[in-house]
Chains A and B, each alone.
Chain A
Amino acid sequence: MSAATLERQFRPIYESLDNGSNKSAIVSCNKILKKYPNNLLCKALKALALVRSQKVEESLALCDEILAAKPLDEPTISAMMHVLKGLGRNTDLVAMCEEAYKAQPQNEEYGAQAFFAHIRAGNWKSAQQISTKMHKQFQEDRYLYWSANDPSTATSMRTLLYKLAHRLVTSSPTPSYLSADRFHMHLSILKELALYDEANTLLESDVGKAICSTSLACSQTRRDIRRKQGSFTEEGARAQERIAEGDRNWLEFLSVLDAAFVPVALSQGDPSEGSTRQCRENIEKARTFLADIANKDGAKNRAAPLALVDLEHRAYKHGLNDVIAVIGSMEHYFTQFGDKACCFEDLRGYLEPEIASSERWRAVLSANQPSFESVDTLQRLINVRKFQRHCLSEVEITVEAETARGVQYLSEYMNGLALGKDLPVTELQPADDLALLAAHAFVSVWTLNGSQDALCNAATLLEFGLTKSRMSFLMHMMLIRIYRILGAPALALDHYRAMNVKRVQNDTLSHLVLSRALTFSLAATGDLTYPTECLESSQIYLANAQETSDFVVRAFTSERYTQIPEFIEFEDRLENSLQRDVVKLEHVRMRLTHEQLHTDIIDMELIELKFIFDRLHQDNRDFVILPNYQPACRPTFNEQSLMFGTSCGLGWLWSFLKIYIRAFQHASDLDETVEEKLLIGDRPKKSPDPETKLPLPERLAIRKPEEAAELTSEELRLMEWATALGDWLEPHHNYTRPPPHVVLAEAAKQTELKTGLPLRGVDLKALNDMNGHSKKDEEAPPIKEAPELVVKFFEGMHTHFKQLLENNGSPSRLLHAATITQEAYILLAVETLRFKTPSVVKIHKLGNLATMIKDIRQRVNSIVKEMSSELLKVGEAEGTVDRRSAFVQACVPVTLGQIDHDFVLNIAKNVTDARKKVVEGVAKGMAKLHSTHSQS
């Protein structure tokens, strides 16, 4: 095949791969392979398309063929890099790159790839060897540098990178001060390596001073260096000069303030009289200086006035002035900047409880007359309301008072709408925050009396707000939280989608809808909305694995060493994201409700969950983005509106991992030896936490109060139940599990049936010899009575469920009780799967055990069935005229201004319909699971 023909033939394959149409890529590959069965590039591209369409086994076989042929051409290698990365076969990836580099020592790219593959795996020694070779070949210093130093940890690697960068910048013939960019890098390097004297020489030079005066980044690095050296006073003087010249960056103001308070801030214990006197003098000087700047700037810039507030606040904290002085400065600030939206956020941090409750501050606020004359007066009113709300004391927070406040905020919102009536639809109403405040007040009512009526009010008024400000993501987020509590998840999901969450936001925001999504999942009935949402939100992690690591290599080859740690850290944050694995576990929980309990699923998920169990997680979830205008003495809106009152953090993840890993391990035939043999790719790096060094059974048995604190009472019961069940059955699982050679022989047989090739890396004969003497010489463990808890759990949950029904509990709580019971029902099936096989029972004389299990199952079956039909009745009652009119009735307080009866009725319809759908769906799903699992 000529090069041109080849090029023409391959183009559509690359295009299909780029577009994500893996199927058509495979078809095109097969066509070429028919004519040219040995074309390596074509095989590699096919392997890539297979990996991307989750056909791991086929891809593996193809992969082995290609690797055996030792590919050397660039397109094949680059395709294989993606394949191997996708399969997690880093060891093979390193080997392939090394091989290619050996064959083509002039190719720097291969060298760098091999080098970085080692670095990422923490194989420092091998990386060093490669860099020695690369230095010989390319005569470049950076390789020599790597080979001469031996990093043994990530931290030492970071230092090494900076040393390398330092060498590069100091040995360069062009001095760094020729460009601000390089000068900044040079300074950062010196800062990182704590070479302060060298940094000072650079900074004190005329050219250095000149650069710092124009380059923001350089000036900031200089400031950091000075602070690390402890030269606060000098830095303050310099900042003062900068401010006088017109710089208004806040950090300069902080430098001035820090310098003023140095005498008291640095003293141990009570400051001496001398230092207090010194400090008072400094404060006086700084005050005069800042007041002067504030006067000059007027309303143009808020930095100096805010710095004055900060100054008085610090002085108050050090006992150098009184509350009145702080309030005075805040009053001044509010008068000047009360019409800016950020005024509340600016001052909130200074509102000490004694200030918030003082008559003086309250008088400042109430002196402001509400006015809807202009956007500025409206904004001032909004700020007043925010401050007043923030400063409320416990006694002022009652159902009546909060309802009245909610209505007041809402009427003011309606008045404020006139100011934005001509805005384009993409704009937000200037009055929006009043609607947010009103919703906060109603949510607060709900926390006080527990009645969902208040939440209906909040939802209605926020829905109205969105008709006026289509793009208000704050309203969307509040609604998501409220609808989840109200048990209308479809509406929550609609609002989540309307926010158009994308890319990295999937990592930071998917917690809004995916935490405890099992509660609302209808996967058991075949509706895969939530499982799909889980998979889609996880795409970002695949993109990260493929793309960010490329940037690490690119940063290295383009000699941007100082950026490498940044990229590596970023990659790690996404790779080990807590939310990633919370979503993964949620997906597993849903998966078990709609797929058959096949050993394939159990084995695969077991391995994946065990990997997760070894990770050091990073929590990237963003909760700060939710608005919070609740009084300072009360929990934040985020805390109040978390469904079931707890977030799914590390404690939740750890608890559920322990439940599932243990259950899967019992059900699986994969013991450690087998798993080692069957594992595709490498194990991920283990977390440095010493706990991960303990044997797995010990780790699974650890219970910590801080982990339990993240569980709901239902989840806690599930955990206790699963522990009791596991303890009871574990000895029998371990005794009856077939020996490794039998399991591997079966796996080999299956692989050969599927792919036509033998299982790689498994020598069955050797295994057979090794397992010559069977463990069956051991005595069978005695069969014990089933622990009481195993059945009692279901009865207890049923009683709990009925209580919730009687007390008219929220639908989401009801669904939670039902789905946790259902989860136990499935876990019971997983734990007892092995003892369903008659031959196992017969050979191991487990008849007694099987009878006990059967008895438990029967009792549990009827409970699940009953719960399902009770839930169905609840669903039928939703979506009726009665329910809608109850909703409308509840919303009388907010049926005002432009919110009319019809608008409320429409929301009522949406909410009750959504409830009906989810409650009936879960009920039907339970019935379906009942018929599946009660059959045996």
Chain B
Amino acid sequence: MNIRQARVEDLAGMQACNLHNLPENYTMKYYLYHALTWPSLSYVAEDNGHIVGYILAKMEEPEEHDGGEKSEQVPHGHVTSISVLRSYRRLGLAKKLMLQSQEAMSTIYRAAYVSLHVRKSNRAALSLYRDTLGFTVKSIEEKYYADGEDAYAMQLTFKQT
């Protein structure tokens, strides 16, 4: 199992990973935007030349006229999408992908924390984020997903080095 930085041509392989999960419907433009803007935040897990998992992440920079909460005033990372093929679960892949991306968020972009959304029903993912990676639930966003399901908004603050 090998983890490496994602490249533009990985898009098809990444999409194939998405077939059996419940991913949101991101446009191709959105993927390309990630690849161009934050190339070091997205990673794929490769096995025998096939992509068996990936993380797609971005940075949120504070805007000058941002009237939001205080926590939004600092640059932070956001996990747009993370997925691991079913037969490659329970191997710690998601954790490895996540740590790679977090490392880059914190060292390259000086992110203060990382955020993500998770489906309320996705117990396995919830336990990964909370128990293994140390995320905490910040709020519940009602009907966040296109199919009407609620999402937990989760966060993990980086240790300042």
Contacts and interface: CB of A to CB of B under 8 A. Distances in A.
Interface in B11-60: 11-12, 15-16, 18-22, 25-29, 32-33, 35-36, 39-40, 43, 47-48, 50
Nearest to B49: A624
B89 interface: yes
Contact of B7 (A301, A302, A554, A566): A566
A259 B7 CA distance: 28
A258 to B, nearest CB: 14
Interface string A681-710: 000000000000000000000000000000
Contact of A181 (B19, B40, B92): B40
Contacts of A428: 20, 86
B103 interface: yes
B9 to A, nearest CB: 6
Given A502-B25, A504-B15, A567-B8, A345 B103 contact: no
A214 B107 contact: yes
Interface stretch (A157-165, A288-296, A542-550, A752-760): A542-550
B127 interface: no
A554 B39 CA distance: 14
B36 A499 contact: no
A508 interface: yes
Interface in A482-514: 499, 502-505, 507-508
A426 B15 contact: no
Contacts of A179: 108
A560 B5 contact: no
A558 B39 CA distance: 13
Contacts of A503: 15, 25-28
A563 B21 CA distance: 29
Interface string B116-127: 000001110000
A216 B4 contact: yes
Contacts of A573: 9
B140 interface: no
A249 B87 contact: no
B34 to A, nearest CB: 11
A567 B122 CA distance: 34
B12 A303 contact: no
A499 B18 CA distance: 10
Given A180-B40, A342-B87, A345-B48, A471 B22 contact: yes
Given A504-B12, A547-B29, A567-B8, A473 B87 contact: no
B108 A505 contact: no
B139 interface: no
B100 interface: yes
Interface residues of B, number: 47
B5 A471 contact: no
Contacts of B11: 504, 570
Contacts of A15: none
Contact of A547 (B7, B25, B28, B92): B28
A142 B49 CA distance: 36
Interface majority SS (helix, strand, loop, mixed), chain B: helix
Contact of B9 (A345, A558, A570, A624): A570
A13 to B, nearest CB: 21
A588 interface: no
A309 interface: no
B90 interface: yes
B2 interface: yes
Contacts of A611: none
A551 B40 contact: no
A180 B104 contact: yes
Interface string A240-277: 00000000011100000000000000000000000000
Contacts of A555: 36
Contacts of B29: 543, 547
A473 B19 contact: yes
Contact of B20 (A303, A473, A508, A560): A473
Nearest to A221: B5
Interface in A560-605: 560, 563, 566-567, 569-570, 573
Nearest to A554: B36
Contacts of A625: 16, 19
B50 A624 contact: yes
B8 A249 contact: no
A618 to B, nearest CB: 11
19 contacts: A181-B39, A215-B40, A220-B5, A249-B2, A341-B90, A345-B87, A428-B20, A428-B86, A504-B12, A504-B15, A505-B16, A508-B12, A508-B15, A543-B29, A547-B32, A555-B36, A567-B8, A622-B12, A622-B16
Given A340-B91, A428-B86, 7 more contacts: A215-B40, A217-B4, A341-B86, A505-B19, A544-B28, A555-B36, A567-B32
Interface of B: 1-5, 7-9, 11-12, 15-16, 18-22, 25-29, 32-33, 35-36, 39-40, 43, 47-48, 50, 86-92, 100, 103-104, 107-108, 121-123
Interface of A: 179-181, 184, 214-217, 220, 249-251, 301-303, 340-342, 345, 349, 424, 426, 428, 471-474, 499, 502-505, 507-508, 540, 543-544, 547-548, 551, 554-555, 558, 560, 563, 566-567, 569-570, 573, 620, 622, 624-625
A-B pairs, top 3 by smallest CB distance, nearest first, are A341-B87, A217-B5, A566-B8
